[in-house]
Every structure is written in C-alpha cells, then in structure tokens.
Amino acid sequence: MGLTFFGLTSEYRAHVFSTIHEIVFGGKGGYDHDTIYDMPVWLRNFTFNKLKDHYQKNNSQDQETNIQKSISTMKQAKTESISPQRVPTYVTKASSKK
C-alpha cells in the first residue's frame, strides 16, 4: 500500500536522524538534539558539512604525523641494529664456596 498523504520516507528519516546524531556527537557538546532538529534544512546541512570537513582535515594531518613518526622510528631502529654489539669491559668470577 502506497502513501495516501505527503510524508517522509523511512530512508530520508534515517538520513535526517543520522545527520542530527553526527552533528550532536561531532559538536562535542556544542549542540543539542532539539536545536539541530529545529534548524532549517539548509543550515543543518551546512553545519554537517563544516564538521565533516573539519574532521577530515584533522584526520589527514594526524595521518601525516603518524607517518613521519613511524619513518623516524624505523630509521632509529635501523641505526641501532647496525651498531656493533657491546662487549662487557669487566669479567666476573664465580665465588667458590667450600
């Protein structure tokens, strides 16, 4: 049975509630559900896209930082494995108990 009145599809409702959740969660307490729900659609989409861009930018910067850290760690491990083994400069004797 089709819709007999104008209404939102379940897919659209899921999209709207998902967007609201992402804004509230990504806003880290800066937004509450009712404020986002009552926002005009264009403003809600704008806010969502701004948050998405912000987190993608931070994510890419974090990935670059992690790559640089892993490269320096690998270089350090390589130089440590090349260095000669240290030979102890002392000799110990076992104590003899009679």
Query: Any idea what DSSP says for residue 27?
Result: T
- Other beta carbons within 10 angstroms of residue 23's beta carbon come to 23
Write out pLDDT tens, residues 17-72: 999 999 999 998 899 999 999 999 999 999 999 999 999 998 888 888 888 888 77
Q: pTM, whole model, 2 decimals?
A: 0.59
State residue 83's pLDDT score. 57
Let me know: does 30 contact 56? Beta carbons within 8 Å: no
